[in-house]
Amino acid sequence: MSSTDVDADLTSMLRTLMPFGEALGMSALKGDAGEVVVTGEWAAERCTAGGVLHGGYLMALADSSGAACAVFNLPKGATTSTIESKTNFFRPVTEGVVTVRSTPVHVGRTTIVVQTDVTRADGALVTRTTQTQAVLTPRA
């Protein structure tokens, strides 16, 4: 799967559900209960010192992709919100596209745990995020 495999309908759906995805420049490649894959791009305005993509940008992509993965695993009528997120940073991104891949680790009645890996164009692991999403069911 390459960044040229953008799913325009899925990208539009995710950006409608999560308008911040537009600001992130997030594009969707795949989305279902087993895996969500999105991309983001290096841009100077998304960087910290030395032309390195800002950690907050990478975390925002991971959180958005992870939340989308949780949404695909929700029971009918439920919504979700991130209640915990932890990110490890392994290497910098100084150019190109990053691929963000989220998979469910645990899908329970009250929480969903998602692992999200961000990789560079060369396939190197940039970050790994583990997040817990609350399963918010409508109150009667």
Q: Work out the angle at residue 110's Cα, subtended by the Cα atoms of residues 35 and 70, and round it to the nearest 5 degrees.
A: 20
CATH class of 8-136: alpha beta
Q: Closest by alpha carbon to 67, among 75, 79, 49, 76?
A: 79
Give the pLDDT mean for 63-84: 96
pLDDT recorded at residue 138: 86
pLDDT recorded at residue 78: 97
| Average pLDDT across the chain, whole number | 95
| pLDDT tens track for 13-51 | 999 989 999 999 999 999 999 999 999 999 999 999 999
Look at residue 140 and tell me whether its pLDDT is greater than 80. Answer: no
| pLDDT tens track for 41-56 | 999 999 999 999 999 9
Asked if 133 and 67 count as a contact pair (C-beta separation under 8 A), the reply is: yes
Look-up: residue for tokens 């919504």? 79
Give the pLDDT mean for 127-140: 94
pLDDT recorded at residue 84: 97
| pLDDT tens track for 74-102 | 999 999 999 999 999 999 999 999 999 99
- State the pLDDT confidence band at 4, using cuts at 50, 70 and 90: low
pTM for the whole structure? 0.93
- The domain spans of the chain are 8-136
